Structure 1
Amino acid sequence: MASKHRNSGNALIVVVVCLAIIIGAIVIVGSMAKSRPAPETRPVSQAAMLVDAIAAEEAAGPFRIEAQGTVRPVTQTRLAAEVGGRLVEISDRFVAGGFFEAGDVLARIDPSDYEAALLQAEAELASAMARLADETARSEQARRDWIRMNGESRQPSELVLRLPQVAEAEAAVQAAEAGVMRARRNLERTEIRLPYDGLVRSRDVDLGQYVAPGTALGVTFSVATAEVRLPLSNQDLAYLDLPSPGRSGDWQPPVRLRGEVAGQRGEWEGRIIRTEGVVDENTRLSYAVVEISDPYGLRSTRRQVPLQIGTFVEAEIEGRDATGLIVLPRQALRQDDRLYLIDAEGKLEIRSVEVIRSTPDRVYLQNSIKPGDPVIMTAIQAPIPGLAVRMRDSAESVEPELRVLPAGELAAAPEEDES
């Protein structure tokens, strides 16, 4: 019994000693932590985001409205034979692409039958005129005979004076004159001519071929002027001063045309001469017509690149004055008509703007920013107002030049500090 009490006393002493050791250790560690110097604190610096930016510019001059169209001739003629016969002559210029002047004979139909018809008509006219002269003389003789026999107190009848015969002879003369005119016109129609300078688009007949009245001979067009139909939306029309339909004295906006002909880029000047005055029901577009003088440069204009019929061109129309507005590249405008700007402290500013006109290339703003304000062009994934930004310098955009080190230098090259 005594031994049991002695063992329990020893265990209690061990527990007390362990607790004393633990408490002492805690006290020692706490005193050491208090005596340790506080760690040095450094201010946290935020790295500025590197962005591309441009200075806002003020627009100068008019709006530029862009459209597209195809060049087509103002005057195009589908030639057809007006008289029948065999083709006995075809001009060297009557070929596809051939240039001709007004009045040139492009082709000739055998005129012999029509020359004979003209001679016959002239003979009939001479006969009719002789008969008229005979009837007129007989009428005058009948008048004199009546006066000699009856005096001047009584008027003779028309039958006595042979007036119906005279009228019939006059009608025969008129009919003969019409026959001569018809025969002469048919003879003239054996020569295929046009009243304008032009080019031949196609020829459908050949020498020796017989053609009947109405036979297609070819297609030609005038080179004096060409035109382009430009489709315009309601938004485009709001920034243009176009001629009113049916009025030719209105302002005719200048147009610059650009296109490619035979691998060469060309530019041509034109003017909008009219609007068609209707809205297409399917596309809801209106059309303005641009006229270009001497597109091939064959008359008076010297052209480095001729504007060929059928060329697809891009048009830039001079619109209303845009002076005072801010113009920026289209990609500078963000969603919901906002811009990313750099403020005076180098922070990101998100500003809503008033868009006057937007095109695929440019955007025009009013009462939003001032000329010279830095506009960020870089796309920012998570734009937060107040974010530190830094404009990219031109030197930073140049990639460093890579240099290949020799084997010896490669071994001696210093290692980078991984810290």
Structure 2
Amino acid sequence: MTDKSVEAPQNPKRRWLWIGLALALLVAIVLLLFDTEDTIDVRATTTAPPPPVVSVVTVVPQTVRARISAFAEVRPRWDAELRSAISGRIIAIHEAALAGAKVDRGDPLFSIESAPYESAVAAAAMEHEQAKLALLRAQNNVTVARRQFDRDGVEPPNDLALNLPQLRIAEKTVAAAEARLNAVRTELAQADVVAPFSGFVTQRFASLGQTVAPGDALVHLSDDRQFELVAEFSQADWALLNHPISGAKAELIHRTGVPLGEAQVRHGGGFLDQNTRQVRLFLDVASPDGRVLAGDFLKVRLLGRQIADTLTLPESTLSRAGYVWLIGDNDQLHRISPDILFRNEGTITISAPEGTGPWRVAKTPLASFLPGQRVTPRSDEG
């Protein structure tokens, strides 16, 4: 069967017509987009932008008393690891020897078996008595010899005739026996180990029944009655203090800013620390009230000498580059490299620049500040 339907050929003119219409539509859309595109209105002006607003503090030169501070660790004056002085078995450990115990001077800590030392004391005492008896005999022999020569009316030919060498030997024998007796008595006394000073037992090393030898560690004892601190200052800060410094009082301040009392300067100066090249100051804290604890890290602050022509500024006035920015009478900026004398409680004290005050200082300088730049100062004394 033959398919009689024949597809009608496309009209080339109509196809080109549709292509032309599509191109025309595309061009129209592009023109419309360019015509409706947002533009930025630019207006030419000859008015300069206003100067930036700067918070300033106004200060005048004044005479201040230097306040020098440094941090130091609180250390007990006496801090010892008590060791056995004799050999023997530990037969008793007292409550005061337990770790954490608070002891007073003379409190018993350990008892070491003392029988061998009691025997040594008895033997030494007997030797001492024998030596004294020999001395009495030697003295008697000298007396008899002298009387004999006196009766005969002649002079003794030498010391030997009077038994004087034997007397001197007997005297030295007594002295040696007495020293030996004192030595063994000391050893016997060391069988009872007592606290040499008041403090806290921070660690115990020996146990009940243990046999110890001379030099073996027993306990570690830390003083709680007297503390000391070693503070270090730069040579520039050291020059700001009143000298001589010995006997001066120093404030002790906790890291939180709470005052904890005073310390007294014992010694200071005379040499530099080999590692830090700073001057060391030694202070004492006698009879602490419980707020000052060994091992704490405290601020030590001392009053120094009077310094004239200074400016005291907030620390924020010092830029990262180390400059202080001043605002002149024409509201223009100029910078100085300050001579910082000391710092105290969020402030810096510097030498006043040349000229007469008062001075207006930028409270919070910006990194974009330039010398000669005009600003709008705003007073901020807070």
Judge same fold: TM > 0.5, yes or no.
yes
Cα 1:348/1:147, change in 2 over 3 Å: closer
Question: Following the alignment from structure 2 to structure 1, what is the Cα–Cα distance between the partners of residues 338 and 380?
Answer: 30
Cα 1:314/1:145, change in 2 over 3 Å: closer
CA deviations on 1:38-80 (whole Å, 9 max, x unpaired) are xxxxx96975643322232555642122322222223322322
As a proportion of its length, which structure holds more strand?
2
Given that 1:69 and 1:229 are in contact with CA atoms closer than 8 Å, whether structure 2 keeps it comes out as yes
In the alignment, is residue 376 of structure 1 matched against residue 369 of structure 2?
A: no
Q: Within 5 Å, give how 1:12-411 maps onto structure 2.
A: 47=50, 49-56=52-59, 61-148=64-151, 151-155=152-156, 158-243=159-244, 250-259=245-254, 267-275=260-268, 277-294=270-287, 297=288, 302-303=289-290, 305=291, 307-334=292-319, 337-341=323-327, 343=329, 347-350=331-334, 352=336, 355=339, 357=341, 359=343, 361-368=347-354, 373-380=359-366, 381-383=368-370, 385=372, 387=374, 389-391=376-378
Deviation at 1:144, TM superposition (A): 3.7
Given that 1:327 and 1:364 are in contact with CA atoms closer than 8 Å, whether structure 2 keeps it comes out as yes
* Higher mean C-alpha deviation, range 271-280 or range 183-192: 271-280
Given that 2:333 and 2:375 are in contact with CA atoms closer than 8 Å, whether structure 1 keeps it comes out as no
Question: Following the alignment from structure 1 to structure 2, what is the Cα–Cα distance between the partners of residues 173 and 388?
Answer: 98
Q: Which amino acid aligns with 1:132?
A: L
Instruction: Figure out how many residues of one structure are paired with residues of the other and give that number.
Output: 334
Deviation at 1:292, TM superposition (A): 2.0
SS at match of 2:74: strand
Larger radius of gyration: 1
- What is the TM-score when the length of structure 2 is the normalising length? 0.73
- What is the TM-score when the length of structure 1 is the normalising length? 0.67
Q: Which segments of 5 or more consecutive residues in structure 1 lack a partner in the other structure? A: 1-42, 244-249, 398-419
Cα 1:339/1:156, change in 2 over 3 Å: same
Question: Following the alignment from structure 1 to structure 2, what is the Cα–Cα distance between the partners of residues 366 and 379?
Answer: 19
Q: Which segments of 5 or more consecutive residues in structure 2 lack a partner in the other structure? A: 1-45
Question: Following the alignment from structure 1 to structure 2, what is the Cα–Cα distance between the partners of residues 137 and 314?
Answer: 74
Deviation at 1:327, TM superposition (A): 0.7
Deviation at 1:364, TM superposition (A): 1.4
Question: Following the alignment from structure 2 to structure 1, what is the Cα–Cα distance between the partners of residues 342 and 172?
Answer: 75
CA deviations on 1:75-133 (whole Å, 9 max, x unpaired) are 32232211111223333222334332233333222222222221221122112222322
Question: Following the alignment from structure 1 to structure 2, what is the Cα–Cα distance between the partners of residues 104 and 370?
Answer: 69
Aligned to 1:414: none
SS at match of 1:93: helix
Question: Following the alignment from structure 1 to structure 2, what is the Cα–Cα distance between the partners of residues 368 and 355?
Answer: 12
Q: Which amino acid aligns with 1:116?
A: S
Q: Which amino acid aligns with 1:258?
A: I
Question: Following the alignment from structure 1 to structure 2, what is the Cα–Cα distance between the partners of residues 392 and 177?
Answer: 88
Given that 1:253 and 1:318 are in contact with CA atoms closer than 8 Å, whether structure 2 keeps it comes out as no
CA deviations on 1:211-250 (whole Å, 9 max, x unpaired) are 111112222233342222222223322322354xxxxxx5
CA deviations on 1:363-393 (whole Å, 9 max, x unpaired) are 4132457666443324353557473515268
Question: Following the alignment from structure 1 to structure 2, what is the Cα–Cα distance between the partners of residues 57 and 86?
Answer: 76
Q: Percent identity?
A: 25
CA RMSD, Structure 1 to Structure 2 (Å): 3.6
Given that 2:340 and 2:348 are in contact with CA atoms closer than 8 Å, whether structure 1 keeps it comes out as no
Cα 1:52/1:131, change in 2 over 3 Å: same
Cα 1:227/1:242, change in 2 over 3 Å: farther
Cα 1:349/1:140, change in 2 over 3 Å: closer
